[in-house]
Amino acid sequence: NAGVMQNPRHLVRRRGQEARLRCSPMKGHSHVYWYRQLPEEGLKFMVYLQKENIIDESGMPKERFSAEFPKEGPSILRIQQVVRGDSAAYFCASSPRDRGYEQYFGPGTRLTVT
Amino acid sequence: AQSVTQLDSQVPVFEEAPVELRCNYSSSVSVYLFWYVQYPNQGLQLLLKYLSGSTLVESINGFEAEFNKSQTSFHLRKPSVHISDTAEYFCAVIGQGTSGSRLTFGEGTQLTVNP
């Protein structure tokens, strides 16, 4: 039973490029959450999605960041025109539909902006 | 809204010594509480959780945490640590009664076990 999968594990982008981070939830999970961990800090909530729906994006920066969870395929976190301050570890979690408190985390994508 | 405070950013201890990692939270609603562990360059693993019932919860590797509602605390303890317990530990809360919602994390406590 595969856990939450994220790819790539490491991503290097130059300033101004786009970053695309992918997350495949655990089998049977229909809710996906994205969190960001800046250096020396705890995890901060970014966005909560269900299939084809953004439920809560109150933690997303207003510009350059977007997320989707299509009917088929993984959830995507997209960062346009990356800046050095976007360098962080981005974690995806998934949960069953009726137990949103039971979140299982993926290994994370470590984004480095040069 | 919730907030979580982990009172110690770094805790160095010697192997086989007892350890306590402190966590206090603030919330206007009842919460579920969690401890997660993060080993270097890895994701978060759930260590233990409090949902209801007995206020003392235990993990399979010897950690325990006690929910204290009056003090709004959920401190993590282990009577005898091993080198392999070296990791970052995060306390987290989520509001009850929500079918899917955000976890609010503390800033983390780096536990370093020295020989």
Structure tokens at A89: 């570890």
Q: CA-CA distances (angstroms) from residue B33 to A29, A99, B46, B74, B107?
A: 21, 14, 11, 7, 15
At B100 the pLDDT is: 55
Confidence of residue B98 (pLDDT cuts 50, 70, 90): low
Cα A111 off chain centre by: 11
Mean pLDDT over residues B87-115, rounded? 89
**Model confidence over A17-44: pLDDT tens digits?**
999 999 999 998 989 999 999 887 889 9
Angstrom distance (rounded) from CA A28 to CA B81: 36
Angstrom distance (rounded) from CA B67 to CA A92: 27
Q: Please give the interface size between A and B, counted as residue pairs whose CB atoms are below 8 Å apart.
A: 62
What does the mean pLDDT of chain B come to? 92
**Model confidence over B36-82: pLDDT tens digits?**
999 987 889 999 999 988 888 888 889 999 999 999 999 999 999 99
Confidence of residue A73 (pLDDT cuts 50, 70, 90): very high
> What is the nearest CA distance from A98 to chain B, expressed in angstroms?
6
pLDDT score of A1 more than 60: no
The answer to whether A75 contacts chain B (CB < 8 Å) is: no
Which residues in chain A touch residue B96, judged by CB atoms under 8 angstroms apart? 101
